[in-house]
Amino acid sequence: MDEKKIENAVKEILMAIGEDPAREGLMETPARVAKMYGEVFASLDESPEFDDYKVFHVEEDPGMVLVQQIPFYSMCEHHLLPFFGTANVAYVPRDGQIMGLSKIPRLVDFVAKRPGVQERITTQIAAQMKRILQPKGIAVSLSARHMCMEMRGISKSGLFTYTSKFDGVFKSDVEMRNEFLRQTGNHSE
């Protein structure tokens, strides 16, 4: 990421909105924003595929493995305003192939820390899980608030947008899907 370029651009924006980038409160702001973009868009500096994981082996396949209520923060690619919420990620292992549990929230961060839309975060989490583990099934659901719908534009506070992606047994087996939905607090029927 080119921090110097971001700093200059932020200075330009401050001038364009009629602010004085030289006034005391704003003097360090371009550098702070550049640093902040480095954090919230951290994935742009990483490889395109998630690679921070280890695959382990258990003798017997468990059923569903679910990490739920994973907090995430992202920036919408339309307005560069935050959207944030929680993600539920479940899979059913194949051939005893499992991954370290902490790697699932790491994967969520990896996918979220770039300009995006909620739908893509949802499908990308599922796609990366599939690539890494080839599990029997994957279920991902996200619930999020979008600042671009709250503090501007339509200006509706407290709306939650729900997105989901079901693959494999979560698609073909209603019981599995309902176990996921029950456990994550959503009910399909």
Ligand X SMILES: Nc1nc2c(ncn2[C@@H]2O[C@H](COP(=O)(O)OP(=O)(O)OP(=O)(O)O)[C@@H](O)[C@H]2O)c(=O)[nH]1
The residues of the shown chain that bind Zn ion, judged by CB under 5 A, are: 76, 78-79, 148
Nearest-approach distance from CB 94 to ligand X, in angstroms: 31
DSSP codes, 134-153 = --SEEEEEEEEEEHHHHSST
Would you call 57 a catalytic residue per the annotation? no
- What CA–CA distances, in Å, run from 159 to 77, 82, 145? 19, 14, 6
Would you call 187 a catalytic residue per the annotation? no
Would you call 77 a catalytic residue per the annotation? yes
Tokens of 109: 């961060």
Task: Kindly state the number of chain residues that form the binding site for ligand X, as judged by CB under 6 A.
Answer: 11
| HEC-encoded secondary structure of 20-71 | CCCCHHHCCHHHHHHHHHHHHCHHHHCCCCCCCCCEEECCCCCCCEEEEEEE
| Window contacting ligand X (CB under 6 A); options: 28-36, 46-54, 65-73, 75-83 | 75-83
Binding status of residue 75 toward ligand X by CB under 6 A? no
Nearest-approach distance from CB 158 to ligand X, in angstroms: 15
Using alpha carbons, select from 66, 63, 85 the residue that is nearest to residue 76.
Answer: 85
- Helices and strands (H, E) in the chain, number of each type: 7, 7
Could you say which of 12, 28, 46, 78 is catalytic?
Answer: 78
Would you call 148 a catalytic residue per the annotation? yes
Would you call 76 a catalytic residue per the annotation? yes
Annotated binding site for Zn(2+): 76, 79, 148
Annotated binding site: 76, 79, 148
Query: So which residues are the catalytic ones?
Result: 76-79, 118, 146, 148
Residues that bind ligand X (CB under 6 A): 76, 78, 83, 117-119, 146, 148-149, 153-154
